[in-house]
A and B are shown apart, each in its own frame.
Chain A
Amino acid sequence: MKKYWLIFRLSWQNALTYRLNFVMWRVRSIIGFLASYLFWLAIVNSNQNIAGYNPSLLLTYIFVSAFLRNLVLSNVSYGACVEIAGGDLSNYLIKPLGYFKYWLTRDLADKALNLSFFSVEIIIFYLILKPQIVLTQHLWLFLAISFLAALLYFFLSFLISTYAFWHPEHNGWPFRFLFIMLLDFLSGSSIPLDIFPPQIVKIFQVLPFSYLVFYPNQIWLNRVNTNQIINIFLITSFWLIAFYLIFRLVWRRGLKNYSAYGR
């Protein structure tokens, strides 16, 4: 356990080595937040009700999405992809160290760091923008589902990294890029998914991506009843287990394939 705690601390040290780099990263996150906030603000000013969202619900959705982006979608473990493609994976495989746990630790460290900065930023924005925030009645459930969502994203992202075992070209970026593009839309991190027609919402409901941002958000917004909450937890857990099992299978096959040839 001690080794992972040290990895956690080293990750912070590493991230804070380049102050400018870190500041730019935060600026990027802030711009993303402001852009979608101001966009929706303009819309709610002319329409008072959009697909069941009144202005304060919608603006809260954006605030909560910003939180979930920092908790769930922040991720440094895409580095695994580069290490698999480039052969640096070898450095870990020869040591008594779990590669999966190593990146999980680094991701946790990254999320913790992002969240601590985010909490300061969000308070500042709250004071400046003064939106009417909807408070949740299910704080603990919200935190619990957010945690599961973060884990789900980690598994999903790690699974995508294993793609580099078979396709090391461009460090596995072609596929990851596509994934990130799709994710931004499918997770509902900038648009509440239920403003789309019900048939499309049904598809979102089956896919795992909406459980990363959209459904946790719905729990915060008190827009789901007890049955729906149970469903959300069940489906998230199902995907979590499914991805974990697929990951284990793929990882084992990937390692056999890891020829390390010239890498």
Chain B
Amino acid sequence: MSVISVSNLKKYYRVYKKEPGLAGSIKSLFHRKYEDVKAVNDISFSISEGELVGFIGPNGAGKTTTLKVLSGLLYPTAGAVQVLGFTPFDRKPAFQKQFSLVMGQKNQLWWDLPALDSFLLNKEIYEIPNDQFQATLTQLVEMLSLKEFLKVQVRKLSLGQRMKCELAASLLHSPKVLFLDEPTIGLDVVMQKKIRDFLKDYNQKFQATIILTSHYMDDVKELCNRVIIIDKGQIFFDGRLDQIIKKYADHKTLEVIFEGPIEKPDFKIIPDAKISDYSPPRVIFSVKRRLANQVAAKLLTKFHVADLNITESSIEDIIREVFTGRDLS
């Protein structure tokens, strides 16, 4: 059964355009030009219980907008959205008690008070029974190692500590559905890893349905079996991560270390080998999949090669290619 279903969702924003400079500013006092920005333009997908799905895409692709529509913050321009059987924009308390939205750049904790005070407030807001609250809190404190921070004023916490407290605050009511918008933004590698491990754990322990957006491929690679790639408000790919490689990687990477002097023009004799990184004695070529062996053989015969490696393109490369609009065919 699908917990989240979205069909033909559109969300347009009206923004006003100002010409640059003071003259433009003065002009805009009298007359403003508005333009529609198609943040989300006709997307459909559905997500089942317990799935952990990654939303990826460049800035402004429509990821956050989609999460906001799913949370009931934005009113869709068109299309139908259902989460846990509710229409999010109705903002029914019964719905709100079952989900959470965590935005890496927004905080819900009271800045001047210890995090524990905000936790207690959430307990009242979500009407969490005492025993359940204590049990969940103990569990979260342990999973996120929060013990020392609970009684410290939030403003005195580091970004990572605060982020962990934010996560805990959002999970106290044991949401069935969790939307995470850039949960690891600005954190160091160690803290990113900790948050990732925690989310993985949480997903498995509670069968929670999670949607996560991130700029860090590591987040997505490690956590999500399924990814939805969004670009310019439309879904570009929806499926298993390893399928992206099968579908789009028609190039292989040849990493060659040469012996003896080489010159860039030397490689003109093998036109199928495109240089993607040239730092002698190491050269990396990008080669059409079906020609890879042939090119490798040619390189070995025509040059003195110390080492040669043929690898699949990395997911990062493929996605970068997708987003820079390179022709993949």
- Report the minimum CB–CB distance from B157 to chain A (whole Å): 15
Residues 120-178 of A contacting B (Cβ, < 8 Å): none
Asked, given contacts A13-B117, A259-B13, A259-B74, whether A95 binds B125 with beta carbons under 8 Å apart, the answer is: yes
Choose, from B43-51, B98-106, B232-240, B263-271, the stretch at the interface: B98-106
Contact of A90 among B39, B97, B103, B117 (CB under 8 A): B103
- Report the minimum CB–CB distance from B118 to chain A (whole Å): 8
Residues 2-16 of A contacting B (Cβ, < 8 Å): 2-3, 6-7, 10, 13-14
Contact digits for B71-89, partner A, Cβ 8 Å, 1 yes 0 no:
1111100000000000000
List the B residue with the shortest CB-CB distance to A1: B124
The number of inter-chain residue pairs (CB within 8 angstroms) is 67
Q: Which residues of A contact B110 (CB under 8 A)?
A: 10, 14
Contact of B106 among A7, A13, A87 (CB under 8 A): A87
- Report the minimum CB–CB distance from A248 to chain B (whole Å): 15
Q: Name the residue among B73, B74, B93 with the largest chain A CB count within 10 angstroms.
A: B73
Asked, given contacts A14-B110, A259-B13, whether A94 binds B96 with beta carbons under 8 Å apart, the answer is: yes
CB pair B106–A91 under 8 Å, yes or no, is yes
Q: Which residues of B contact A10 (CB under 8 A)?
A: 110, 113, 117, 121
- Report the minimum CB–CB distance from A213 to chain B (whole Å): 31
Contact digits for A72-111, partner B, Cβ 8 Å, 1 yes 0 no:
0000000000000001101101111100000000000000
Distance of A258 Cα from B127 Cα, bound (Å): 27
CB pair B125–A97 under 8 Å, yes or no, is yes
Asked, given contacts A90-B103, A95-B125, A96-B126, whether A6 binds B75 with beta carbons under 8 Å apart, the answer is: no
Distance of A31 Cα from B141 Cα, bound (Å): 48
* A46 at the binding interface (Cβ < 8 Å): no
* A260 at the binding interface (Cβ < 8 Å): yes
* B68 at the binding interface (Cβ < 8 Å): yes
Q: Which residues of B contact A227 (CB under 8 A)?
A: none
CB pair B72–A96 under 8 Å, yes or no, is no
Asked, given contacts A96-B126, A261-B15, whether A90 binds B106 with beta carbons under 8 Å apart, the answer is: yes
- Report the minimum CB–CB distance from A171 to chain B (whole Å): 15
Q: Which residues of B contact A18 (CB under 8 A)?
A: 112
Q: Which residues of B contact A96 (CB under 8 A)?
A: 93, 96-97, 125-127
List the A residue with the shortest CB-CB distance to B92: A96
Sorting the interface of chain B by its residue count into under 10, 10 to 19, 20 to 34 or 35 or more gives 20 to 34
Contact of B71 among A17, A94, A261 (CB under 8 A): A94
Residues 140-156 of B contacting A (Cβ, < 8 Å): 153
Chain A contact residue count (CB 8 A cutoff): 24
List the B residue with the shortest CB-CB distance to A11: B110
Contact of B75 among A3, A90, A256 (CB under 8 A): A256
CB pair A95–B103 under 8 Å, yes or no, is no
CB pair B74–A260 under 8 Å, yes or no, is yes
Q: Which residues of B contact A94 (CB under 8 A)?
A: 71-73, 91, 96, 99-101
Distance of A93 Cα from B74 Cα, bound (Å): 10
Distance of A91 Cα from B109 Cα, bound (Å): 10
- Report the minimum CB–CB distance from A194 to chain B (whole Å): 40
List the A residue with the shortest CB-CB distance to B112: A17
Q: Which residues of A contact B39 (CB under 8 A)?
A: 261
Q: Name the residue among B13, B113, B124, B126 with the largest chain A CB count within 10 angstroms.
A: B124
Q: Which residues of A contact B7 (CB under 8 A)?
A: none
Distance of A179 Cα from B9 Cα, bound (Å): 41
Distance of A256 Cα from B76 Cα, bound (Å): 10
* B108 at the binding interface (Cβ < 8 Å): yes
The 10 sampled A-B contact pairs (Cβ below 8 Å) are A14-B110, A14-B112, A17-B113, A90-B101, A91-B106, A94-B96, A94-B101, A95-B96, A95-B125, A261-B15
Cβ-closest 9 pairs across A and B? A96-B93, A3-B124, A91-B108, A96-B96, A17-B112, A6-B124, A97-B125, A3-B125, A261-B13
